Amino acid sequence: MDIAKALGLFIATALAEIVGCYLPWLWLRQGASAWWLLPAAGSLALFAWLLTLHPSAAGRVYAAYGGVYIAVALAWLWAVEGQTPRVTDWVGAALCLVGAAVIVLGAHLKSPH
């Protein structure tokens, strides 16, 4: 799987997870209808399925996904919740993305074992 496709898949996965968690948050914290739990459950099922589309071992996929999730969560904070992330938020996300890139690119190297 090429890097651009993997990144797109990670972003879609992150959005599915965020929506699946945000909708119950709206219900619990903002008094939204409990009916929002149905699309939340579907979104979390989509999230789990999307994670299976990566060819790498599950643990490696989860580790690399974590870095992308952090960046997407900050974009969500900005776009959906209307709160501007701090510079330190973006610096932290950039560090996580570097770590995710090391994991993803390292998976393409031949192991000496």
Q: Does residue 60 fall inside a structural domain?
A: yes
Q: Does residue 111 fall inside a structural domain?
A: no
| Beta carbons of 44 and 58 less than 8 angstroms apart | no
- Residue 36: its pLDDT value, please? 97
Q: Does residue 100 fall inside a structural domain?
A: yes
Q: Does residue 113 fall inside a structural domain?
A: no
Task: Indicate the number of domains in the chain.
Answer: 1
Predicted confidence (pLDDT) per residue in 51-73, tens digit: 889 877 788 888 888 999 999 99
Residues 6+ apart with CB under 8 A from 26: 32, 36
Helix boundaries (H) for 31-57: 37-51
Give the pLDDT mean for 73-99: 97
| Beta carbons of 20 and 43 less than 8 angstroms apart | yes
Global pTM reads 0.84
Q: Does residue 112 fall inside a structural domain?
A: no
Predicted confidence (pLDDT) per residue in 6-41, tens digit: 889 999 999 999 999 999 999 999 999 999 999 999
Q: Does residue 39 fall inside a structural domain?
A: yes
Cα(21)–Cα(14) distance, integer angstroms: 11
Report whether pLDDT(111) > 90: no
Domain hosting residue 56, numbered range: 3-106
